[in-house]
Every structure is written in structure tokens, then in C-alpha cells.
Amino acid sequence: MKYLLIDTTTSNVTVAIIENNKILFNYQNTIISDMSSKILPIIEAGFNSVNFNLRDIDKIFVVNGPGSFTGIRVGVTIAKTIASALNKNIITLSSLEYMATTFTDKKYLVPIIDARRGNVFAGIYDNNLKLIEKDSLISLNELMKKIDSNYELISYDNINNSIKPKVDILKIILKHENDKSINPHKVNPNYLKLTEAEERLKLKENI
């Protein structure tokens, strides 16, 4: 089976091409500026380096959030455009679960993405990627109340002595490769946050 994985939800981008549980192409880098214009050239370089092309892919895995709204949209747009044009199976992955593939000897992993104003996107997983507490937008203080020495904080953003993610592509794929494929038109970002305009409107309606 041949897979393409795309993660552009943070500035730590992954583009990977996998065949029969072997990673043939693995781009993992920090892209600070103009990320959107760099992803397709990376995908192209990836397929130039393996002996099959995009049309031969069996499944696309796209990380659809939470994270940077713009970043999420770039990856999701590319992935759903490929999937709908070439009629490919497509599966969405959580950015936090992807971070939770990092190896640690602690019992629980707490992947965290800074969501500004004292808030974070976070979830809690055990070291077999079993979901303990689902991804949510939460204040960092609130989250820290749940944390003791059994928990490893994982973040690209250096939050409260967190360790840096070292993602394990095969681990997350192995867990999700038999997930049910989604209609590409229905593959959408998982922002975990309304827009400010929607929040204000909701507030107004609740008064």
C-alpha cells in the first residue's frame, strides 16, 4: 500500500511518502515563511525521488488540526483537491495525536499547541495513542491542574518544560490505516475554535 501524509498545521511540516510500512520520502522541517508556496514543490520532489507517482497512491493522510488556521487550510486544500480529483481514499489525523507519537517512558502524553492569550490546544493520550482526553481548546492553567509526574508535555512551543515532539509517522499510520475513508468534499479543518466574529455573535445572542 502506498500512502501520502501531509501535515502543515504548524510550522513543523511533514510530507511523507510511505510504501508497505516503509518511509520512502520523509520531509520534516520547520518552515517559517511562505509555507503555502513550498508544499507542492516538496510533494513534487518527493514523488521525483520514488519510483511511482501521485496517481499510484492508495491513501492520503492529512493532518487537519488543530493548529495554525492558515497552515491547516493549505494542507487540507491540497489533500482534498488531490483526493477528489483522483478519487483517492483520504483520512484525517489530529495534529495533537500526531505529536503524541513521540517516544517517552511516561504513562501519558500531553501534546500542546499554543493558542495564544493563555490558551492552548491540547489532548491527553497514553503511549499507545489511546485517547484519554480528547483534543480541546483549554486555558494552560486549567490544563496544568490535571498534570502530574505521570504526564509528559510535548510541544514545539516550549511550554512548561515540555519536550520537543519527535513524531513517529509509521505509528500513527499503523493506527489509522484502516479508518474509514471520508468523502473528500467533506474533509475539512478541525480548528477547535470559532472565529472571533462568530464568538462575539454567540455572546450577543446569549445575552
Partner 1 sequence: MDNVYILGIESSCDETSVSIVKNGCEEIATVVLSQMNTHSTYGGVVPEIASRMHVENITIVIEECLKKANMKMEQIDAIAVTYGPGLIGSLLVGVSAATTLSYIYNKPLVPVHHIAGHIYANNLVSKMEFPLIALVVSGGHTDLIYMEDDYKFKKIGGTLDDAVGECYDKVARIIDVPYPGGPLVDKLSYEGKDTYQLPLPLDDNTYNFSFSGIKSAVINLVHNEIQRGNEIRKADIACSFQKRVVDILTKKTMKALKEYNVKNLIIAGGVSANSGIRNKFSELCKNGGIKLTIPHIKYCTDNAAMIACAGYFAYKKGLRAGLDLKAQANTSLF
Q: Which residues bind partner 1 (CB under 8 A)?
A: 34, 36-41, 43-44, 54-55, 69-70, 73-74, 76-78, 80-82, 84-86, 184-185, 188-189, 191, 195-198, 201
How far, CA to CA in Å, does 144 sit from each of 9, 124, 157? 24, 12, 16
Strand order in the sheet with 108-114: 131-139, 119-126, 108-114, 151-155
CB of 148 to partner 1, least distance (A): 37
CB of 99 to partner 1, least distance (A): 22
Nearer to partner 1, 6 or 153 (CB): 6
Nearer to partner 1, 107 or 202 (CB): 202
DSSP letters, 81-96, are HHHHHHT-EEEEE-HH
Nearer to partner 1, 107 or 200 (CB): 200
CB of 115 to partner 1, least distance (A): 14
Q: Which of 13, 41, 43, 48 is nearest to 28 (CA)?
A: 13
Please give the Cα distance from 24 to 16 (Å, whole number): 8
> What are residue 59's DSSP bridge partners?
3, 89
Please give the Cα distance from 165 to 188 (Å, whole number): 24
Nearer to partner 1, 63 or 82 (CB): 82
CB of 73 to partner 1, least distance (A): 5
